Structure 1
Amino acid sequence: MKINSKLLISLVAATCTASAIAAESVTSTATVVVQNAFVLTENQALNFGTIRAKADTSGSTTASLIIPADGSAHSVTRTGNSISQSNIIEITAGAPATYSVSSAAPLTNLTITLPTTAIALTNNNSVASFTMGSFGAYITSGANSGSAYSASNLQTDANGAVNFSVGATLTTDGSTPAADYTDGTFTGTYTITVSY
């Protein structure tokens, strides 16, 4: 019996030693990819359409054409009492600009920064110019689709995408230009920024 007990103890000790010797280690590498960039695309430029326009060449009254961001009916307002001073009449209706965001983080709120100062629209052959301002945005897809944009309510969908539109107000020259508008295309550039 004593011999068997000694043998058993020796076998157990040898097994424990063999298990300890058989342990292995491996060094692993962890990675993470940072993608803060996303894609912002202008699908359709802001278009005030084709208009009949009159500038006030003897005063400072103005007429304004409002293109709402939500695509609703356009309207014209005036600071003067007479359309003979300044006027805008739509011939062909314009449309708001449309934008899309893709490859952003899913279900994440984004911020739109719109111009806050008046942007000039000019034509080299015309003394009179226009300004555009009072920019607004409207969400057209995602969780808040159908809502006017307000601080950080532009939320991407599960694929990291969202669409929105931008409208603004076009105003005739209020600086008493020396001559009225000439026919032609008036252009001006502006910047829209979307950020996390």
Structure 2
Amino acid sequence: MALSAWLLALSPVRAATEIEELSVFDFGTIAITGNGSVSVLEFPRSGRNLNAIGDIVVVAVGQPGRYRLTGFPPNTNIDVDIDDITLSAGGTGIPELLSVGNYDTGSVRTNELGEVEFQLGASFTTSGNGGSYEDAPYSGNAQLRFHYWEPSLSDYVTVSENVTFAGEVRSSFELTEADRLNFGVLYAVGTPDDQASLRLFPDGRRDVTNAGNARIVSLTQPTPGVVAVSGAAPFRQLDITVSATDVLLRHTQAPAGPHFILNAMATLPDQSGRTDEFGALEIRVGGTLSTQITAAEVVYPAGTYEGTYTITVSY
């Protein structure tokens, strides 16, 4: 009896293609200090050496998008295609919008298992139309399309995946009065012809000047005001301005009585200061306190005298 055998050759079966979003593209936290012209944040796929052009300040660095492809043909180049998109506050589509484009994936090629991981870079652009950006989380979605040669079909194939872009706009930061500007306990006399003054330097030094019968006697050590900045961009120069107009300090119980005049205010650092690695800065405030020109010579009544000054800190 004759015997025969058949050998059936089976082709290996490849798993279905999968696209996994390992990390959402997060541009981090930025301050937008103006929108009169277009500003750009260039975010490389490496996630390092971001470049802010125009009125964008990087407060906190985010991370590039990272993706993993599996089930693709081995040792195959993958072309990645992405449409330009816009991001909006809360993802609701309400202006002002951040435009996303100029994507960078580098070379994407699968290994012998048909797998590859890659990172995505992009540029984020303001509208430049003068509108204001809200302090809010911003988000949006884009479709990544992957084009590659499929040997089993002898043709090119395209697969796609929707991915997320996110980040935060925070153009404001926190100012806290850590210590009040306090001229201490004084004895003061006002006169019709002269003024006495106490100059308190931001570093704590004091200088008293008396004229005629006008008097200020400093009975306790005055202390500069301390304003703490927090939540700003790290290693960033901030502009500092303080009240240029006279501030009147009136008796809290008898405001109609004689008052003090605060002017020539100064800060340390002066006019501008640089934040530390945490985005914090301490500002000390001083000024010159003078007696009032009064209708007759008068001793200032005992009690508390208060007034309010304004300090502005900005990028």
TM-score of the aligned structures, taking structure 1 as reference length: 0.76
Is this contact kept in 2: 1:48–1:93, CA < 8 A? yes
In 2: Cα distance, 1:20 partner to 1:193 partner: 64
Aligned match for 1:101, one of 229, 243, 249: 229
Deviations 1:132-158 (A, max 9, x none): 01100003xxxxxxxxx13xx311112
Instruction: Tell me how far 1:17 sits from its aligned partner.
Output: 5.6
Gaps of 5+ in 2: 1-149
Aligned match for 2:299, one of 167, 175, 180: 180
Counterpart position of 1:5:
none
* 2:267 maps to 1:132: no
Within 5 Å, which residues of 2 pair with 1:104-183?
104-123=232-251, 124-125=253-254, 127-139=257-269, 149-150=270-271, 153-177=272-296, 179-183=298-302
Instruction: Tell me how far 1:180 sits from its aligned partner.
Output: 3.2
More strand by share: 2
Distance 1:45 1:177, change over 3 A: farther
Instruction: Tell me how far 1:127 sits from its aligned partner.
Output: 2.1
Root-mean-square deviation over aligned CA pairs: 1.9
Count residues in correspondence: 164
Within 5 Å, which residues of 2 pair with 1:56-71?
56=191, 59-71=192-204
The answer to which structure, 1 or 2, has the higher relative contact order (CA under 8 A, 6+ apart) is 1
Distance 1:177 1:31, change over 3 A: farther
The aligned amino acid for 1:192 is I
Counterpart position of 1:11:
none
The aligned amino acid for 2:228 is S
Counterpart position of 2:314:
195
Is this contact kept in 1: 2:190–2:297, CA < 8 A? no
Worse overlay, 169-178 or 17-26: 17-26
Distance 1:177 1:45, change over 3 A: farther
Is this contact kept in 2: 1:69–1:166, CA < 8 A? yes
Instruction: Tell me how far 1:112 sits from its aligned partner.
Output: 1.4
TM-score of the aligned structures, taking structure 2 as reference length: 0.49
Is this contact kept in 1: 2:261–2:290, CA < 8 A? yes
More helix by share: 1
The aligned amino acid for 1:106 is P
The aligned amino acid for 1:132 is L
Gaps of 5+ in 1: 1-14, 140-148
Identity of aligned residues (%): 34
Counterpart position of 2:11:
none
Moved over 4 A (4+): none
